[in-house]
Amino acid sequence: MISRTENLLPNLLEFTLEEMQEFISSLGKEKFRAPQIMKWLYQSGSISFDDMTTLSRDFRTKLSKIARVSRPQIVKIQESKDGTKKVLLRLEDGLFIESVLIPGKNNWTICVSTQAGCAMDCKFCLTARQGFKRNLKPSEITGQLITLRKETPEGPDIKNIVMMGMGEPLANYDNVLKAINNLTCDFGMGFSNRKITVSTCGLAPQIVQLGLDICINLAVSLNAPDDEIRNKLMPVNKKYPLKVLLDACKKYPMPGRRLLTFEYILIDGVNSSLQDAKKLAALLKDQRCKLNLIIFNEYPGTLFKSPSLKTVEAFQQTLIDNHYTTMLRKSKGSDILAACGQLSGAFGI
């Protein structure tokens, strides 16, 4: 357990490189110690100052008295038939969050949470049912990756990061931006911004701001071809209706020649008819985008149903006929509630 006194010490995983340099300078030490410490924290995954052998013994002792290193701890790992792993993590204050490891051909993608719970209340989402608890700190966002890299066999092969776990990343804007800064910093995790995707339910002003602040992959959870359906599925649409959202998307600069992704969860009898597909094709005609279709994952207690494969194929074909790059994304881990919109932060406890 962490004592009350230790809790008051600054957690070095909250610092950006610049903040670490300021902190180190304030201790009368050379600035080049800051990248050294960042590398121990992010690349070696050290949580003990004793490990940081490029620092003098005296300096390590001093650091251990005035700072701490804390990141989420693994409580439980559950594995799906398809190899997807859902990881339950405990935060310092006792709250639980979930990360998901998704297998690819040659490497793994980690889906990280950015909030404990979520306030957005999307009607198809299990996370929404537990309500909003709090924003995750930068150390708790990057810490999911550092912990899983260090403590799971897949760790070294985690090559992609998607912020699609619990929470709405852009509702925790400053902490998410700081986390991305440390994920892409050469002395932090050293990830390319092409390997990181932020997913949003449609906070239009923050989409525009993100485009000004950073160049990173963006996925927008759309799920409806018009405001009437979207209002029913996603309360955020009442604040930022489709026109406002799509205008913000048009302003968003994707890295390189990449396309913005619209995610579309297909729900039987709600948004998956042929007419819905035609409306969607017309709605997106001015967007530089691709579409990811996801079949709704049924979970206990939901009234929504998955559409038939025939319905899904007809929907996809309509979009392809209208020249959209349209992928039918296999939702991995649905048998362990690790798929899209199925994270609750409470499995098995």
Q: Which token pair is 71?
A: 């990141």
CB neighbours (10 Å) of residue 278?
16
Taking CB under 6 A as the criterion, the residue among 84, 127, 144, 297 binding ligand SF4 is 127
For β-strands 85-90 and 260-266, DSSP reports them as unpaired
If the CB atoms of residues 152 and 223 are measured against ligand SF4, the closer one turns out to be 223
- In the annotation, is 98 catalytic? yes
Q: Which residues pair with 277 in a beta bridge?
A: none
- Which three-class secondary structure state does DSSP give residue 268? coil
Residue from 179, 166, 75 nearest 137 by CA: 179
Question: From residue 49 to residue 68, what is the string marking binding to ligand SF4 with x (rule CB under 6 A)?
Answer: --------------------
Show contacts with ligand SF4 in window 148-167 (CB under 6 A): 166-167
Backbone angles phi, psi at 236, to 5 degrees: -55, -25
> Which lies closer to ligand SF4 via its Cβ, residue 111 or residue 122?
122
Sign of the torsion formed by the C-alpha atoms of 286, 289, 295 and 298: negative
Residue 122 is a binding residue for ligand SF4 (CB under 6 A): yes
Q: Please, what is the minimum distance in Å from the beta carbon of residue 343 to ligand SF4?
A: 7
What is the separation of C-alpha 129 from the centre of its chain, rounded to a whole number of angstroms?
18
Q: Are 181 and 175 in contact (CB under 8 A)?
A: no
Closer CB to ligand SF4, 92 or 168, in the complex: 168
Stretch that binds ligand SF4, among 31-39, 94-102, 118-126, 287-295 (CB under 6 A): 118-126
Contacting residue, 341, 342, 345, 347, with ligand SF4 by CB under 6 A: 341
* From 128, 185, 337, 338, residue interacting with ligand SF4 (rule: CB under 6 A): 128
Q: Facing residues of 110 across strands?
A: 101, 161
Q: Work out the burial of residue 301: count CB atoms within 10 Å of its CB; fewer than 13 is exposed, 13-18 middle, 19 or more buried.
A: exposed
Q: With respect to ligand SF4, which residue has the nearer C-beta, 8 or 303? A: 303
Q: Which is nearer to ligand SF4, 167 or 188 (CB)?
A: 167
Quick check: 202 binds ligand SF4 (CB under 6 A)? Answer: no
Which of 100, 125, 284, 289 touches ligand SF4 (CB under 6 A)?
Answer: 125
Six token digits for residue 1? 């357990």
What are the residues facing 200 on neighbouring strands?
220
Which member of 98, 140, 168, 263 is catalytic? 98
201 binds ligand SF4 (CB under 6 A): yes
Q: What is the CA radius of gyration of the chain?
A: 21
**Closer CB to ligand SF4, residue 185 or residue 338?**
338
Is 340 catalytic? The answer is yes
Distance between CA atoms of residues 305 and 298, nearest Å: 6
Any idea which residues carry the catalytic annotation?
Answer: 98, 340
Site residues for ligand SF4 per CB under 6 A: 118, 120-122, 125, 127-128, 166-168, 201, 341
